[in-house]
Structure 1
């Protein structure tokens, strides 16, 4: 494993108690950064903190609540110092159903967490990065946001919105040393699969030319470079992690 230099950096990782977020936080700590994990699950956060050691702090927060996000950001910087890295990994997939029968409450919940939550967290962190003229942001989108998955209209729409938000913010901050990018992974082997039917899971696997799901460590490797000082030019871009599925 290459060691990306993140010495002296402080990262927020939303959804950091498990899955992609925890894998990325682990890679950041091994690269010299301190991390503050944001998640709704206090029990999983405690377990993650124990695994990561003294370089990790935790905050229980619902990113769909903009006031809670603002308070979490203030607490994070008060306890851990200025935030120079942000990874938005928190998200939900929701149930599989056709658009014409899709439950409206689930639609709203998915949009609230995946889209509004990403907006709230970016909005909280960006002013400090602008003031200090440094920052690295990675928003976790999905191949579904590029291609659309059948019977996943809410999830697909939410991740397309994350891509658009990332491109917009990247252009807004292009005059600063702040890079804003996103990744579009194919299905990863995480607990999010628990929300899906076996048939839908197999359908997702069949769409990946490599014939397997993404390993969380593979995503962490890409993101570790994206949040490093070495990524000093690329911003507003989409990085593919679809195992050959993406057509653009």
Structure 2
């Protein structure tokens, strides 16, 4: 089932969100099928989660996103907490204690988010650039914050690509529930099948370092949000 869309989203916004949810399903389905076929033996799985990681954990997360009951959840566009209006560069946010099953999509998302058919274009590099620039990956991220979808199980242990690779080796029990690992694995699997055999990978460490500041400060790829305790995560 899909997350319901609030009436505050106009017709154009609703169409864009629905397309984004469709893209999220494409990513999650491809990732789940990859794990069902290969378990933890594939190179991609081991890169993102580790050779010793339990494949049942990310598989379950993808399946919950795809098929889990989303009654009571909501995507809205009316900025009830005024974060879109007051926080520069925010594309959206989870409402936290104000409404734990709701996520706000800010106007900036409708100006900057891309469909999956544009994956890997214009020099986008997975490992250097923020995958949330794509609607499908961004809405995967937003669904993972909703307790109804993932029971608060998702963590932010590693946000950078370098840190994700590190915990896959050193903490596979954490990598399988790390938000960015879940997102990037799905995106990498999908793009390698439908866009290019190499996907969007290939940014070198030097490229990553030189582009990091610019990539993370660009409004089009920010993904800040509030947590239930009121803390802000970007």
Question: What TM-score results when the alignment is normalised by the length of structure 1?
Answer: 0.25
Between Structure 1 and Structure 2, the one with more helix by share is 2
Between Structure 1 and Structure 2, the one with more strand by share is 1
Larger RCO (CA under 8 A, 6+ residues apart): 2
